[in-house]
């Protein structure tokens, strides 16, 4: 027989979900059978798994130690070096400045992403333990494209992850991006459209009118300055769809510099030759929520291009 006490990072979820993590090799049918037979109890009472757990709840496993060991696999987390820069950290959230080229979350089992880097950082700084990872893994609250840099929020605790995810879902967190686009823009504009994603190509198209499978999108941009050829924009993401900023700006004739999917090949060639640019110049710059504002400075490659293209003072004035 074994028992454990529900911690803050385990509370708030259904009991069966918690048991699936704790007895991670057990078939779900086995866990539900043990619940029915009262071989698993919650606070010494019969339960069916649908109960919401709370801090301090006692979960008792009236099973042989050998059975628990058979159905419980513990893995040592493989730590990886960090490529991000920490912007902010409290008990519930970790905000980092992600470089372009780093995935937010892994797409394949062998990938290393900002998520794995964040867990490694938290382990190394003894914020979390290997034992905690058995039932809760810190995770990104939203995603940035691999080749988009900037502010990325990670939930360190279950509360932080759930709260931040809810703010983003309800659109009460304000998100601002900086990007360098082809062409000259001088007037702020609120643009709307409809976006459709092709799952096979992972590419989207934008139209002015709704079509089958489309989602309404809204993007607000403010020109900060131009050099006669390109414009530095501050963009507020009103809705948040796949590749929204990239495809939406391209659809109105102002593709983001360096964007191989939606941008201008002519403009991209220039920046490849002069700056060896290999990614879009789109940066998640600022996020405001819960009365605080977090800002991620530009990475050196973006800075170098703004300086080389006589737009650095525009960014300096923004700061």
What six digits make up the tokens of 198?
């092709």
Q: How many residues are recorded in the chain?
A: 319
- Our CA angle for 43, 49, 55, nearest 5°, is 45
* Best CA proximity match to 77, nearest among 26, 21, 116, 24: 116
Gap between the Cα atoms of 168 and 291, Å rounded: 15
What six digits make up the tokens of 13?
């979820």
Gap between the Cα atoms of 203 and 201, Å rounded: 5
**Which three-class secondary structure state does DSSP give residue 304?**
helix
Place of tokens 């050099």: 227
Residue 290 among the catalytic residues = no
CB-based contacts of 312, cutoff 8 Å, min separation 6:
303, 306
Gap between the Cα atoms of 261 and 110, Å rounded: 25
Query: Which member of 16, 48, 111, 145 is catalytic?
Result: 145
Residue 88: C-alpha distances to residues 59, 104, 173, 290 (Å):
35, 17, 16, 14
DSSP state letters, 163-184: HHHHHHHTT-SEEEEEEEEES-
The bridge status of strand 282-289 relative to strand 174-182 is: antiparallel
Task: Kindly report the number of other CB atoms within 10 A of residue 131's CB atom.
Answer: 9
CB-based contacts of 24, cutoff 8 Å, min separation 6:
71, 72, 73, 134
**Which three-class secondary structure state does DSSP give residue 193?**
strand
CB-based contacts of 273, cutoff 8 Å, min separation 6:
none
Catalytic residues: 145
């Amino acid at each position: 027989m074994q028992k454990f006490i529900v911690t803050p990072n385990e509370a708030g979820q259904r009991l069966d979900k918690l048991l699936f993590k704790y007895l991670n090799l057990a078939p779900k049918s086995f866990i539900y059978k043990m619940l029915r037979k009262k071989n698993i109890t919650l606070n010494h009472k019969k339960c069916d798994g649908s109960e919401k757990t709370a801090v301090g709840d006692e979960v008792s496993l009236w099973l042989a130690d050998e059975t628990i060991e058979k159905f419980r696999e513990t893995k040592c987390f493989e730590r990886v070096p960090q490529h991000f820069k920490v912007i902010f950290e409290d008990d519930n959230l970790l905000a980092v400045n992600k470089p372009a080229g780093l995935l937010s979350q892994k797409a394949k089992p062998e990938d290393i992403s900002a998520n794995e880097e964040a867990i490694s950082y938290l382990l190394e700084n003894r914020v979390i333990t290997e034992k905690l990872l058995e039932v809760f893994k810190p995770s990104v609250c939203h995603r940035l494209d691999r080749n988009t840099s900037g502010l990325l929020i990670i939930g360190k605790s279950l509360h932080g992850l759930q709260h931040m995810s809810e703010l983003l879902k309800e659109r009460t967190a304000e998100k601002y991006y900086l990007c360098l686009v082809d062409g000259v823009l001088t007037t702020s504009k609120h643009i709307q459209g409809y976006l459709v994603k092709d799952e096979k190509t992972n590419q989207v198209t934008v139209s002015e009118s709704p079509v089958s499978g489309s989602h309404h999108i809204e993007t607000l941009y403010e020109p900060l300055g131009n050099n006669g050829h390109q414009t530095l924009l501050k963009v507020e993401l009103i809705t948040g769809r796949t590749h929204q900023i990239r495809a939406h700006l391209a659809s109105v004739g102002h593709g983001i510099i360096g964007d191989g999917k939606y941008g201008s090949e002519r403009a991209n060639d220039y920046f490849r030759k002069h700056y060896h640019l290999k990614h879009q110049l789109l940066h998640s710059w600022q996020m405001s929520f819960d009365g605080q504002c977090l800002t991620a400075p530009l990475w050196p490659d973006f800075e170098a291009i703004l300086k080389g293209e006589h737009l650095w003072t525009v960014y300096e004035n923004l700061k």
